[in-house]
Amino acid sequence: MSHTPLNFGDKLKLINDHWSPRIIAEMNDYQFKLVKIQGDFVWHDHPDTDETFIVIAGELRIDLRDGAVTLGPGEMYVVPKGVEHKPYAEHEVQMMLIEPRGVVNTGAAGGVGSVAIDMLASRGYEAVALTGKASEEAYLREIGASRILLREELDLGKRPMEKAQWGGAIDNLGGDYLTWLTRTVDYGGNIASIGLAASAALNTTVLPFILRAICLLGINSVDTPADLRRAVWARIGSDLKPQHLDTIGSKTISFDELPDAFQAYIDGTVTGRVVVEIA
């Protein structure tokens, strides 16, 4: 146990980007984060938890559907769960957030990963993007990612269970990355396995499933019953509707161009979704 106190000023000096929270401490299932913000964020809510804003420097306005709250240095405000809100700062604001652990999304710059990031961020979750494309950081932040992890910089660990970091996960990669997720998702968390871009293998132990009660959910859209499909589509068109589809599906090709487009997918160079115009 450390006997050294954390200094907010020292930690804030290490943050260069806006809207990129840094975890400085944890308490039970909650994380204390420092962040610098400027400009507008998207309307969102947190369906399962309150969110606490503590302003350290600057002036923060939290827009609500029925008004707004303005905070100055040394002031805090708790947004109740389920309440839509939108932070705004005309000039830079330095503040602390207290939130539950976030959801990590591997293969985040791909089509499925991009939509997942957008959906999670719009619902108020901390959407963490794990990607092998460092050049796509601006794109991922635009669609809602609050943190970017680069695959080549990731320490996958070797123990059956590593430090718990995530409330849940959506995995497009499989292989070592899915194994890492089983080691690092927190108690009671779910991992949705939807792809095998890295590998079809999975080398793990039963320990996270028994000691942390995590669940690995296989996603098979092909055989999903029609009634469940309609229920999912209804939510995708309402409370889960992605807010950045024009950005995610910014490229359109004709049906005749489709055969020539496949190599880019094999090479892993496609970002977002490509829209195919049938007629």
- Token representation of residue 194: 């939807």
pLDDT score recorded for residue 268 = 78
pLDDT greater than 80 at residue 279: no
Query: pLDDT category, 214, cuts 50, 70, 90?
Result: very high
Q: Between residues 104 and 92, which one has the greater pLDDT?
A: 92
Query: According to the model, what pLDDT value does residue 126 have?
Result: 84
Please say whether the dihedral angle defined by the alpha carbons of residues 195, 197, 202 and 203, taken in this order, is positive or negative.
negative
Q: Taking residues 217-246, what's their average pLDDT?
A: 89
DSSP 86: E
Q: Is the pLDDT reported for residue 1 higher than 70?
A: no
pLDDT value at 85 more than 70: yes
Higher pLDDT, 44 or 236: 236
Average pLDDT over residues 268-272: 85
Q: What is the pLDDT of residues 60-82, one digit of tens each?
A: 999 999 999 999 999 999 999 88
Tens of pLDDT along 123-148? 778 899 999 888 888 899 889 888 88
Measure the CA–CA gap between 142 and 82, rounded to whole angstroms: 23
Could you give phi then psi for residue 149, rounded to 5 degrees?
Answer: -115, 130
Least confident of 99-103, 115-119, 179-183, 233-237: 99-103
Residues 182, 191 contacting (CB under 8 angstroms): yes
Q: What is the pLDDT of residue 152?
A: 87
pLDDT at 188 over 70: yes
User: What domains can you pick out in the chain, each with its CATH number?
Assistant: 8-100 (2.60.120.10), 101-279 (3.40.50.720)
What was the pLDDT predicted at 116?
92
Q: Where are the beta strands (DSSP E) in 22-124?
A: 22-27, 30-40, 51-57, 60-64, 67-71, 76-79, 85-100, 103-106
d(CA 58, CA 106): 34
pLDDT band at 50 (very low <50, low <70, confident <90, very high): confident
Percent of the chain exceeding pLDDT 90 equals: 47
pTM to 2 decimal places: 0.68
State the chain's mean pLDDT as an integer: 89
Average pLDDT of the residues in 191-205? 93
- Is residue 243 over pLDDT 90? no
The three-state secondary structure class of 56 is strand
Task: Quickly state the pLDDT bin for 93 (edges 50, 70, 90).
Answer: very high
pLDDT at residue 94 tops 90: yes
- Take residue 96 and report the two structure tokens written for it: 């602390």
- What confidence tier does 191 reach under pLDDT thresholds 50, 70, 90? very high
